[in-house]
Structure 1
Amino acid sequence: MPSSFERPQGASRRSVLKAGLGAAAAIGGLAATGGAVKAMSGGSGKSAGLSGAVDPPVFKVADLTGPGLSDRFGMHSTDLGIPVDAGDRGKLFVFGDTFSGPRVGEGDWRSPTGLYSKTTDLNSGMKWDSAVGGDYGRQFWGYDHHPEQGNTVLPTDVIRIGDSLFLFVTCVQPFPNVLFSEIWRSDNNGESWDLVTPGIRADHLGGRFQMVTWGLGSNNTVYVYSTGFRGPGNARGILLQRVAADRIHDLGAYEGWGWDGNQWRWGVEPSPILDGKFGEMCLRPIDGQWILTFLNEDNPLIESIVMPTPDADLVHTNRRHILIANTAWGTEGGNRVAQPYGGFIIPGSTLRELHFCVSQWKTDGDDRGWPYRVMQFKALGLDAI
């Protein structure tokens, strides 16, 4: 990959790329708005009732990155940590903006990066065996970061299909201005990557195909939730599509779930299934059901919804729960985290014991820039509530 990208067809050729440091601080600087989550009456109506059930007990398991944890791989400061099964390498965790120094903006800047773990006891906390690139965490493909441009490539989700990994990324410059998105493929558990879907326009599906999560169903169909990239003015609402697993790279093969004027059905232009402003999302099949975790930017909170199928009603459900609540620095504890985002589910989780990655970034004060890390939490009893 050259050190600069081409814009999608129809735009001028010039060096473009990724998320900036000055404006990008907003990605972690989430201030509570107190706004309620707005909900549309979308969905298939396969579940009933209103949200408001008791939320699950949530506990911190471990810090996963930072000094003494990931710095030996040149990855002292990093975020996201999107996990996926990596075959004989164990689990691959994909990280976003990564710095070798002790704070955001210090040292060698890379994104995406990855760490491997063969930890099987999730309650012990993930331990790192190696990085993509060996002893030093290498950027997945080559391009140059320019702090004055604020250019970066940010991963939103990764999925395993057969022996291949597929990674969705969004290219921004500066944050939160999305230039375009891409899908990359790896056939060696993440050690090298090939571009398979270049130049997905920022306005595709009305700007709601910039932040993507996907899960593989037992019918060899991939279900895809998407929304606008987080930040001021992003397109509101989550869309649902599906695609045959062997055509995940072909946007022309995606089929939308939407309201046709009389009913919700497949094969129409996708309609928002949940209204609101959302950040990172994670859709996974677990224990014969499906779970979506997401950053609700309106509050902000990391929430979950358990559902029987991906096209279930996300609005009128009593299985929507708060996993992580935002709190002030110095008041953290239990499920209260200052400036949280992420929420990516770790393979091996069950609904009874759901392990997930939470990011944190301090963006104000004299000590801003640290913490900028990934932590592991677990929620108990989502199968019973």
Structure 2
Amino acid sequence: MSASALTAGVGSVDARACSNSGPIVNIPVVGPFLPRGGSPSGPQKPLPAYDSGGTKTVAWVTGPRSPNRTFGRFGITGTDLGVAWDNGRGETLLAFGDTFGNCLTGDQQWRHNALLRSTDSQLSDGLRLSGAGYVGQMFGALGFDGIEKTTIPTAGIALGGVQYVNYMSVRAWGPPSVWYTNYSATAVSSDNGRTWFTPQRTIRINAGVTAPLPAGWPSMRAGDANFQQSAYVKGAGPDAGWVYQYGTPNGRFGSAYLARFRAGDILDLDRYQYWTGSRWAASPDAARPVVRGPVTELSVSWSPYLQRYVMLDSPRGVLLRTAARPEGPWSPPRRVAPASLELYAPMMLPTSPALRGTGPELYFNASRWDDYNVLLVRTALRR
């Protein structure tokens, strides 16, 4: 999750990878689930053309080559993820990871994360972003490797008119597809994403041990290591009234675990329940996998079209699973995009027809490492 940026003027399509010659940005290795690892090669290339009849690349969402012209409008030439959720007001909010602007500046205009918006509900020709103006970061980090390198959003949800983003504090980038986190936490915004704060009691320390801490302090339980990255989904049918949080350990090699809570309890980890494989329990230490690893960055949604939950992740191509209940059993994965596209972090768009019950089309953001930008992909669900 690192860098691509501009070395030419505003509006240019010449986006080159940052050289990493400065003292701040340390470009990580992402492999091996991508055909090529190492630093992004840049410049941003034309959209990779792919159309299998069931899955199609639609358009760039970010980058100088995107229809959104994100450098001229937002000061963004390189970013990834695009975690998407409905803000409850007819707007899609999109949280991005490490974000870069102009490489000619000393800090390459590095932001640890960024938030963009869209009111576009017709995605067949791409995802149009709203607004303009230099986009600052949502929440900060120390920026020092080995202490706290960055803070990366992994999931977002709106509950009762308030926006919540789960994020991970990355201590350092490691070998291919490995990174090390200090903790995960939930940031809160009551002004539709303009400002954010993190209640200390939402922090899950990645210590691998269980230790009692005073009320209101961060959580330190061994099972918290399995909730360093997340995906949120609201329950439907018999699961209505619950919010579900899927968790994975830091990196791309762990299994997926499941917690649930009532909407009003999102900030109270003591009221979360965890799936043990047969029942719900009060401690994350009791959680057992609902999907065996390797599970990468994932997104989960309820599809009224399928009347099932849908899960996307991306080890060696984008994989799709379905289940009647959040805890599964989940279907065997179906590959909907090949490894040759070099996509990671597939994040479903809430305005997709398949998620509104109006058709089989499921749209998702996906990131490409070489271009270090996000593109929109369409696939068709099968009943």
Indicate whether the TM-score tops 0.5: yes
The 5 A counterparts of 1:102-117 are 107-117=108-118
Q: Structure 1 residue 376: deviation in Å? A: 0.1
Please give the alpha-carbon distance, in whole angstroms, between the structure 1 residues aligned to 2:365 and 2:31.
Answer: 15
Q: Structure 1 residue 77: deviation in Å? A: 0.5
CA-to-aligned-CA distance 1:157-176 (integer Å, 9 cap, x gap): 10111201110000012121
Distance 1:291 1:130, change over 3 A: same
Q: Structure 1 residue 301: deviation in Å? A: 2.2
1:373 corresponds to: 373
**2:198 is the counterpart of 1:195:** yes
Please give the alpha-carbon distance, in whole angstroms, between the structure 2 residues aligned to 1:245 and 1:173.
Answer: 30
Aligned-pair RMSD on alpha carbons? 2.6
**2:168 is the counterpart of 1:152:** no
1:322 corresponds to: 335
Q: Structure 1 residue 106: deviation in Å? A: 6.6
**2:362 is the counterpart of 1:354:** yes
Higher relative contact order (CA 8 A, sep 6+): 1
CA-to-aligned-CA distance 1:125-154 (integer Å, 9 cap, x gap): 1112226xxx11111134453479671001
CA contact (8 A) 2:310 2:323 kept: yes
Please give the alpha-carbon distance, in whole angstroms, between the structure 1 residues aligned to 2:121 and 2:156.
Answer: 20
Please give the alpha-carbon distance, in whole angstroms, between the structure 1 residues aligned to 2:235 and 2:224.
Answer: 26
1:48 corresponds to: none
Distance 1:85 1:383, change over 3 A: same
CA contact (8 A) 1:56 1:323 kept: no
Structure 2: tracts of 5 or more residues without a match: 1-23, 37-51, 174-178, 209-221, 355-359
Please give the alpha-carbon distance, in whole angstroms, between the structure 2 residues aligned to 1:358 and 1:77.
Answer: 13
Aligned counterpart in structure 2 of residue 141 of structure 1, from 128, 136, 139 = 139
Please give the alpha-carbon distance, in whole angstroms, between the structure 2 residues aligned to 1:238 and 1:311.
Answer: 10
**2:83 is the counterpart of 1:82:** yes
Q: Secondary structure of the residue that 1:119 maps to in structure 2? A: coil
Task: Please state which structure has a larger fraction of its residues in strand.
Answer: 1
The 5 A counterparts of 1:209-288 are 209-218=227-236, 219-231=240-252, 236-259=254-277, 264-267=278-281, 269-287=286-304, 288=307
CA-to-aligned-CA distance 1:155-205 (integer Å, 9 cap, x gap): 111011120111000001212121111101112221111212443111341
CA contact (8 A) 1:28 1:361 kept: no
Q: Structure 1 residue 74: deviation in Å? A: 0.9
Distance 1:242 1:194, change over 3 A: same
Q: Structure 1 residue 211: deviation in Å? A: 1.1
Q: Structure 1 residue 349: deviation in Å? A: 1.3
**2:64 is the counterpart of 1:67:** yes
Q: Secondary structure of the residue that 2:260 maps to in structure 1? A: strand
CA contact (8 A) 2:202 2:268 kept: no
Q: Which residue identity lines up with residue 295 of structure 1 in the other structure? A: S
Distance 1:350 1:326, change over 3 A: same
The 5 A counterparts of 1:13-28 are 21-22=25-26, 25-27=28-30
Distance 1:99 1:344, change over 3 A: same
2:55 corresponds to: 58
CA contact (8 A) 1:109 1:145 kept: no
Q: Which residue identity lines up with residue 327 of structure 2 in the other structure? A: D
Please give the alpha-carbon distance, in whole angstroms, between the structure 1 residues aligned to 2:204 and 2:226.
Answer: 12
CA-to-aligned-CA distance 1:200-243 (integer Å, 9 cap, x gap): 11134162111111101142211111111115xx5x21111211
Q: Which residue identity lines up with residue 291 of structure 1 in the other structure? A: V
**2:140 is the counterpart of 1:123:** no
Q: Equivalent pairs: percent with the same residue?
A: 24
